[in-house]
Amino acid sequence: MVDVERLREIAREVISRDDVRQLIGYRQGTYGFRARPAFITSPEEVDQLIFSPACVNNLATYLTLEEKLPVPRGQEPDLRKVAVMVKGCDSRALVQQMEEKAYERERIVVLGIPCTGVVDMDKVEKRFPDVLSRGEITLEGDKFVLSFDGQREEVPKEELLADKCKRCRYPTPLVYDQLLDEAVERFADDDYSDVLELEKRSAEEKWAYWEEKFSRCIRCYSCRNVCPMCYCEDCVLDRLNPQWMRRSVDISENTAYHIARAYHLAGRCIQCGECQRVCPVEIPLMELNRKFYKDVEELYDYEPGTDAEAPPLLATFKVDDREDFIL
């Protein structure tokens, strides 16, 4: 686990650099075990920074989410770098964004966090529902240790670990300027057992399953907005004239939205699981993304977000690509 003092020391050096304007990391949340994104612009703010298994957000999203107002006449745009803290899975978002030429590598400073897994905050809050005062989560061996209100509780790692971490192939960031700790060995692999289960169902069963999930969707677009790969400046969903997708909420439009989203992420989703984490009505979006992910790996021997030099999947063609699935 990253030592907080070392993390702050490195962050202080980075934010003190003349060519860095902002550092994006984590800080304590407002209640319970929550952590939240921190936006540091001066060395004085560095002491807020933390890293713990509660730091679930994928901060790579913020590199493309920033809204910039037009620069007033006579002023120069601020072209200084943005530094960002990333776990293994989050670093894959950077790799994929750079593969797609979302920005230049030189624009960012990457502080890599070798990660031993983060918690599923829903599981934590279900288990400890009434913790208001700020609590802490650390990992000790194979147990999460939760400290709050002068109490200390130990829970086996397996019970609170986020599902995505149970199949993590890349715990150590794949891209970084500085690594904040010793690299972590791969501790899990993805056998796609969940996808295989879903694939066994008949088309009718699948439709009934997804109809129930999609009918709950309120189209808050949190799944799109949190996704580090959903960064089009002009999103088809926001277009009003012509309107490609209706704002009205019904099973037909909801389904169209989620299918369109899943297809836009085929060969691009890097499995950070943020879309499913944030969904207020608990739609299991990663099941869709993982089906595509598995197909892409099997059909094209391609894993998105693992090689910044490689072209994006949809920009490649190999003469020996399998074609047996084409009707």
Partner 1 sequence: MAVKKLNKDKEKEALQELTKFRLIAPAKSDEVVIFKQITDPGEAFLEYGNSTVPPKKVVFPQTETLFRFQRGNPELREKNVEEEGTTVIFGLRPCDARAMSIVDRLFSWDYEDPYYLKRRELTTLVGLACVEPPSINCFCTSLGGSPFGTEGLDMLLADMGDHYLVRALTEKGEKLQETLSAHLEDAPAEEEKKAEEMAARAEGKIARSINTEGIPEKLPTLWEHELWKKVSAACLGCGICTYLCPTCHCFDIQDEVEEMGEGRRARMWDSCMFSEYTLHASGHNPRPTRRERTRNRISHKYSYYPKRFEVIACVGCGRCINLCPVNIDILEILEQVVDAS
Applying CB under 8 A, the span of 98-106, 158-166, 262-270, 276-284 interacting with partner 1 comes to 276-284
Please report which helix (H) or strand (E) contains residue 208, including its range. Answer: helix 203-215
Smallest separation (angstroms) from partner 1 to the CB of 24: 9
CB atoms within 10 A of CB 215: 14
CB of 187 to partner 1, least distance (A): 26
Kindly identify the residues of this chain, within the stretch 36-65, that bind partner 1 according to CB under 8 A.
Answer: 36-37, 39, 57, 61-62, 65
Q: In angstroms, what is the minimal distance from the CB of 168 to partner 1?
A: 21
251 touches partner 1 (CB under 8 A): no
CB of 53 to partner 1, least distance (A): 16
315-327: b or e for each residue (b if 16 or more CB lie within 10 Å)?
A: eeeeeeeeeeeee
For the bound state, the minimum distance from the C-beta of residue 275 to partner 1, rounded and expressed in Å, comes to 10
Written as six digits, the tokens of 132 are 């208001």
Cα angle for residues 266, 171, 92 (degrees, 5° grid): 35
Radius of gyration of the chain (CA): 21
Report the candidate in 99, 64, 105, 95 with the shortest Cα–Cα distance to residue 315.
99
Report the number of secondary-structure helices (H) and strands (E) in the chain: 11, 9
11 binds partner 1 (CB under 8 A): no
Q: Are 224 and 261 in contact (CB under 8 A)?
A: yes
Minimum distance, C-beta of residue 206 to partner 1, in the bound complex (Å): 16
CA–CA gap between residue 325 and residue 154 (Å, rounded): 49
- Binding-site member from 17, 80, 247, 322 for partner 1 (CB under 8 A): 247
Instruction: Determine, following the binding rule CB under 8 A, whether residue 209 of this chain makes contact with partner 1.
Output: no
Query: What long-range pairs does 199-206 form, CB within 8 A, spacing at least 24?
Result: 199/291
Segments of the chain assigned E as strands:
20-28, 35-40, 49-50, 81-86, 108-112, 136-140, 143-148, 151-156, 178-179
Indicate which single residue of 6, 186, 246, 322 sits in contact with partner 1 (rule: CB under 8 A). 246
Q: CB of 136: closest distance to partner 1 in angstroms?
A: 15
CA of residue 104 relative to chain centroid, distance: 20
Instruction: Give the residue with the Cβ less far from partner 1, 36 or 169.
Output: 36
Mark 160-189 with x for binding to partner 1 (rule: CB under 8 A) and - for no binding: ------------------------------
282 binds partner 1 (CB under 8 A): yes
In the bound state with partner 1, the residue whose beta carbon lies nearer, of 196 and 218, is: 218
Q: Out of 48, 64, 147, 225, which residue is the one contacting partner 1 (CB under 8 A)?
A: 225
Q: What phi and psi values does residue 235 have, to the nearest 5 degrees?
A: -80, 140
Binding site for partner 1 (CB under 8 A): 29-32, 34-37, 39, 57, 61-62, 65, 67, 69, 129-132, 212-213, 215-216, 218-222, 224-226, 238, 240, 243, 246-250, 274, 277-278, 280-282
